[in-house]
Structures are given as C-alpha cells and as structure tokens.
Amino acid sequence: MAIVEWKKDGTVAVMTMNNGENRHNPDFNRAILNAFDEIENDETVSSVVITSSDKKNWSQGIDIEWISGAMNNKDTAAIKDFMYGLNRIFTRILYFPMPVIASINGHVFGDGTIMACACDFRFMKADRGYFCFPEVDINIPFLPAMLAIIKKAIPYYKLEELVYSGKRATAKELEESHVVVKASENEEALLEDAIAFARTFIKKRAVFGQHKKRLHKHIIEIMEKEDPEFIEPLNIMA
C-alpha cells in the first residue's frame, strides 16, 4: 500500500495517509507532495479532503525514530532537508489553489497538528481522538512559521491555552472554539460531512489560489526569512 494515495469522489479528491501513525519523515514528505501534484494536474478536482486509513491516528507528527537515527549518524544535511521538506508541505497546502480540508479521524499531535492547521478547514471525529501540541512537554519549541500557521487556524485565547499547556483537546471543545467546522458523530459521519462540505466548493482555481496566496503571504515570508535561522545551525532552542 502506498504511503499516500488518493481517489476522486465527484469533484473531491480524497487523499488517504496509509502509514499507520502517519509520522513525518522524508518518504512521507515525498509521498504527500507527489499526491498534491497529481491532484492539481486533474482539472476536474475542485477540493481536497485529507484522511487516514488508521482507525486511531490521523498523524502523530515527526518520525522520532527516523530523526533520532539521523542525529546519531550526524547526518545534518538529511535533517535540514527534512525540515525544509516539512515547510514545502505547509507551503503546498497554504498555496494550493483549492480548499484543503482535514478530516481528522484519530489523534493528531505535534507536527501533524501543524499540518492540520495549515489546511483551510478541519472536521474531527467526536467519539475518539485528541488534538494536541505536546512540544511544551518534550522541550521542542515551534519554528516561527509553525506559530504563524497555528495563529491562522486557532483563536488566540485558545492557541495560548493549547500551546502553553500541552493539553489534549477534544473535537467538541475545538468545535466550540471554531477550530474545527464540525465535531462529527463517528468516523463514517466524519468523512461524509467533510466530503459534503468539500462539494460546496466549485470555485475557479485562479482566484481561489490568489486569495490563499494573499492571505498567507506573511506566513511564507516568516518561513523563508526566520525559519532558516534555526534550521541551518540545527539549534531550534536558540
């Protein structure tokens, strides 16, 4: 099974992450970027829904095993390329010329949560799964662009609560704060809700893409100007 695959449901591209906890590593980066390229090349697609084949997890963030191995091997080039690769994923979503909707059918933690925040809209399963930024408890601060991405998706009062506490938020709680469009009853209802919402978008790609570029330009500028200060020396604690 491919790490990431997609299929069409009418005008909606349903992208499915198939790698268990869907942890981010170089293979994941390549797979999801390739899927976005394929979807954009299909002119009959008007929106994208991202889901997971795992019943428990949407994405658990960075592949700790992979990055620990790279650190042990002192492969700094691979780590830097990976970090820039994550930014390429975030940029792809932020600038993708159609709606990208996260259908969060399980736990979403760390860098997976950043990816969900990069999406234009989020739906989440109400009966199981947490939305969490554990960085404060594992001593890993956010890169500047990551914080900018979070700010676009989460009201500031809720952002401070989640980022500073590392608490695990439920779908109902996030619905009340307008972080997710809807806390769907269960997994079946979740995908139905997300796809039905996605079908309401039949917009011209040119104008939709321009709206996203202008709305998110400041995030990309932060990514390009400020993130390298921490990525290049691999000193995220600076």
Mean pLDDT of the chain, nearest integer: 96
In the chain, where are the structural domains located? 4-199
* pLDDT tens-place string over residues 121-138: 999 999 999 999 999 999
**How much is the pLDDT for 238?**
45
* pLDDT tens-place string over residues 91-102: 999 999 999 999
Name the CATH code of domain 4-199 (choices 3.40.930.10, 3.40.50.720, 3.90.226.10, 1.10.287.70): 3.90.226.10
| Token representation of residue 207 | 């104008």
Sign of CA dihedral 107, 123, 38, 95: negative
Show the beta-strand stretches assigned E in 88-202: 100-104, 107-109, 121-125, 131-132, 168-169, 182-184
Share of the chain above pLDDT 90, in %: 97
* pLDDT tens-place string over residues 172-183: 999 999 999 999
Residue 40 scores a pLDDT above 60: yes
Residue 237 scores a pLDDT above 70: no
